[in-house]
Structure 1
Amino acid sequence: MTSAPHLHDASTRADLVDWGVQPDAIAGASRSSGKLVHKGPGNRPEIGIWVCTPGRWRLSIPRDEFCHFVAGSATYRADNGEVIDVTPGTAVFFPAGWVGECEVHETMRNTYYLTDREAGE
């Protein structure tokens, strides 16, 4: 047994759980799936793998989130005009309270770390 939660083959792992249709759709019907690596007390922090199919939706990041994209492509557009294009190898830190939209162009996969800190803390 190990004290370090981990998943082998995170960039190609196939035993993901269907998390359903992405809420707040603008165009398309993106579906999400993933696998949790760790959830702390009260579900904080949360660490896992997330895969999402093409589509576009509104999004609001509730807590600081770090994402490392390993497949696919997407564009994140913040309400303040910032544009972030992601492709394999891109790493992004979204601060708590980041608001905008995401458009997935090609099914994307990332590893993520959703921290304890919420907007305003």
Structure 2
Amino acid sequence: MTIQHIKKTTNTPELESWGSVGIPLSDPACELRGIKKVIPGREAIDSGVWECTPGRFRRQITEGEVMHILAGRATFTPDDDHPIAIETGDTVFLSPNTVGIWDIQETVRKVYVLL
């Protein structure tokens, strides 16, 4: 059995630079940091901690996602749907093929699992 423990996830310095978002809609582009965590026996599942600086970008991930917001504030507007305000403490479940626009108002840090 392998147990991975991130102490004080809301402010851990372990995050690595992941560069800027793939489809930026603001200048400067949002910058990403994160750390991936591989669960032995479930290597195909992408999970970890993700952080994004303020700005706007297009979500292009087509996998379903579960996220818990550790810090920050944002709005996500799915294509052809209403904006959703998201803030510290919220948990969000996105169905596969949910694409749209992220508007990050305050640096967001989340725990995520892509399915």
* Structure 1 length-normalised TM: 0.85
Change in 2 beyond 3 A, CA 1:77/1:40: farther
How far apart, CA to CA, are the structure 2 residues paired with 1:36 and 1:61?
16
Aligned residues: CA RMSD: 1.8
Q: How big is the shift at 1:26?
A: 0.9
Kindly provide the amino acid, as one letter, of the partner of residue 5 in structure 2.
H
1:36 aligns with 2:36: yes
Alignment: residue pair count: 114
In the TM superposition, structure 1's runs of 4+ consecutive aligned residues that sit over 4 Å from their partners are 39-43
Change in 2 beyond 3 A, CA 1:47/1:6: farther
How far apart, CA to CA, are the structure 2 residues paired with 1:75 and 1:56?
10
Q: Which runs of 5+ in 2 are unaligned?
A: none
- Structure with the largest fraction of strand: 1
Q: How big is the shift at 1:10?
A: 1.3
Equivalent residue number for residue 84 of structure 2: 84
Equivalent residue number for residue 17 of structure 1: 16
Aligned residue runs from structure 1 range 100-119, under 5 A: 100-115=100-115
Q: How big is the shift at 1:84?
A: 1.3
Give the share of equivalent positions with the same residue, in percent.
29
Q: Secondary structure at the match of 1:108?
A: strand
How far apart, CA to CA, are the structure 1 residues paired with 2:112 and 2:34?
10
How far apart, CA to CA, are the structure 2 residues paired with 1:64 and 1:83?
18
